[in-house]
Amino acid sequence: MGKVLPVVIVGGGPAGMIAGLLLARAGVQVTVLEKHADFLRDFRGDTVHPSTLELFHELGLLDELLCLPHSRLDTATLDLLGKRYTIGSLRHLPVAAPYIAMMPQWDLLDFIARHAARFSTFDLRMSTEAVGVTSNASGRIDGVTLAGGGAIPARLVIAADGRRSVLREAAALPLEDLGAPMDVLWFRVPMPETGESADVPLGTINRQAMIVAIPRTGYWQCARIIEKGAFPAIEARGIEAFRRSTVAVVPGLAASIESIRSFDDVKLLSVSLDRLTRWWCPGLLAIGDAAHAMSPVGGVGINVAVQDAVAAANILAAPLAAGEDPDPLLAKVQERRWSAVVRMQALQRAAHRRVIAPMLRGAVNQVPLAVRMLNAIPLLRRIPGRIIGLGFGRQHIQSPLAKEFA
């Protein structure tokens, strides 16, 4: 009997690492390829939502995870046209951790890698970049090609290589671009050294700008929403103009804004909103951002991707462990996750049309009725809290734990 080929997962982000952990835990041989040498990079999203925290609770790992440095957010506030509104609460969610954990993504990924490494079936290869796929005589994808030459054969390839996925392009999977009117400028501003945090809301919108300030340990991670393609003009006006205009929107950042010394401290994030209309072909399955790039609205991208990974493991782990052909099951992963992704993207598109695009045009002149109602009626705040905190089509751990690892 020949050697069993591994499932090859391309991309060591949250979706790829969770899928690798759950498949290895079920006794499936897994190889995860990550093109970088480590996880220590400035990611666009470090929010771990209650739905994801609950998965770690189901795995018995939540308490250990929460020993890592993090801050917690259970209430969403918004400054809109000069007035503070409370628009969402997660406190009443029926989960072990009813809040968003603001945790550096590199810490989260290191944590997952450390626990996955307990299983002999898990192999993480850093500094290993997949650049294409291989196919057999019938056209079924049966491996990946590597930068610098060589290939790795696979029983199944899982593309978790992000919104600019090389593998989905190589597999010619059909992509639908839903459009996005904005980009994001990503920068961090330290909190005052006194330890007394200035009065900085999670989000601020005036008639010309929107800034999100996510509280982290010792600093705010800021996201300034700009019109798509507008960064060169902002850069041409100079860093001092950028600092002044930022403080004009969020005065609470004034004490520390000088830490932004040049545009080297500001990262441009190009926003995409798209989805594959088919996530699979024989021998390959796309999940996470490779299957559907999410807008930053709601900060849900990581958590939607992790739900994909759990769904994939729930459907595929036991059959793969039993040596079955995974191809007939690949469409079932998309079927299970399709409605949840489409619904969340529909909400994001609505936010683009009704909030982001008017703000970028300078056309926000009044507070929407929905915001006024959420602020006035605390019970209503549970609705956006549940959508953002738990999402749609929430998954639970159903993939097995192989007896030899129990």
Place 1 in a pLDDT band, splitting at 50, 70 and 90: very low
pLDDT at 34: 96
Q: Each residue of 153-210: pLDDT tens digit?
A: 999 999 999 999 999 999 999 999 999 999 999 999 998 876 555 678 888 988 778 9
* Cα distances (angstroms) measured from residue 361 to each of 83, 183, 208, 358, 364: 20, 14, 7, 5, 8
Could you state, in order of their start, the residue ranges of all structural domains in the chain? Answer: 7-177+272-395, 182-269
φ/ψ region of 298 (left if φ > 0, alpha if ψ in -120 to 50, else beta) reads left
- CATH code reported for the domain at 7-177+272-395: 3.50.50.60
**Collapsing DSSP states into helix, strand and coil, what is residue 217?**
coil
Q: Is the backbone of residue 395 left (phi > 0), alpha (psi -120 to 50) or beta? A: beta
Cα of 162 vs its chain's centroid, Å: 10
CA distance 395 to 147: 35
Which fold would CATH assign to domain 182-269? Answer: Alpha-Beta Plaits (3.30.70)
Contact 213, 222 (CB under 8 A): yes
Residue 43 is predicted with a pLDDT of 53
Mean pLDDT of 363-375: 89
Provide φ and ψ at 205, rounded to 5°: -130, 125
Residue range 255-303, pLDDT digits in tens: 899 999 999 999 999 899 999 999 999 999 999 999 999 998 888 999 9
Gap between the Cα atoms of 65 and 52, Å rounded: 11
